[in-house]
Amino acid sequence: MKKLRSLSAVFLSLLLCAICVVPFLYVLIASFKALDGEFTLKYYYEVFVGQSQYLFRFWKSMALSICISLGQVVLSALAGYGFAKYKFKGKNVLFFILIILMILPLQVTLIPNYVILEKFNMINTYFSLILPALVVPLGTFIMTQSYKAIPNSVIDAARLDGCRLHEVLLKVVIPIGKNALICTFLLSFLDAWNMVEQPITYLGEFTKYPIAVALASVPPGDPTVLLVACVLVTIPPLCLFAFFNRELTEGIALGGEH
């Protein structure tokens, strides 16, 4: 019976891997084929060298995603430390509201955010994408759960040594909770890199759309060029998850404790 369960688990794992990997392999292989089926690199040359529109959108999306991720990490780290190590009135209520906000779909907040951004004249600017994305509750939740695992005695010892609040954060709390920070950065980067609804709602000009929206909106003259552009889009997430896979796993596992 155990052997049958093990075989079933292996089969399901292989099936899930195939479902995830096969589409990407198809795009990767097809990106090296010309319309007549011959192997060619000319489409990679067109995307990476010949046509600047793809690389321009790529680097614009990269800068936008990094700004959102760094800002979200900073705010999540500060808010998480407050929830984890400070006692204040209404703390449990606020944290419960934070959890409720985590399960709300993105579409629920689009219209309220649009109204607020319009009052501040930020529609059709990149601030309309950056500012709402800085206060995503998932990052605060992960950092809160991570900081709860840090013994209070460690923080008290740092304070006795004369460390101020910013020194406690920079020298003690952040180094111990670096896996949660990296996890928050990766998840926020992936969310920002793949954002579609927000640019369509807040940006009125097609030229300002990030690459994830532009690829879905521009009718390709040659489908192989679009496949190469799709490969280009997958490079940053794949590199980040390949280099920081252990930190991501440990950050999620630590965030699920307590």
Q: What architecture (CATH level 2) is domain 61-255?
A: Orthogonal Bundle (1.10)
Task: Give the separation between CA 88 and CA 158, rounded to whole angstroms.
Answer: 22
214-237 per-position pLDDT tens digit:
776 655 566 777 788 888 888 888
Q: Do 167 and 76 form a contact (C-beta atoms < 8 A)?
A: no
Q: Mind listing the pLDDT tens digit for each residue in 131-154?
A: 888 888 888 888 888 888 888 888
The enclosing H or E element of 135 equals none
> In 132-143, which positions are buried (b, 16+ CB within 10 angstroms) versus exposed (e)?
bbbebbbbbbbb
Q: Please list the alpha-helical segments (H only) found in 31-51.
A: 42-45
Eight-state DSSP code of residue 163: -
> Token digits for 67?
């700004």
Q: Return the amino acid letter for 79.
A: A
Low-confidence ranges of the chain (pLDDT < 70): 1-4, 52, 216-222, 251-258
Q: What are phi and psi of 29, to 5 degrees?
A: -70, -45
- Structure tokens belonging to residue 133: 């994305």
Give 192's contacts (C-beta < 8 A, 6+ positions apart). 64, 65, 68, 69, 133
Task: Give the whole-angstrom CA distance, residue 129 versus residue 63.
Answer: 12
The domain limits of the chain are 61-255
Q: pLDDT value at position 65?
A: 93
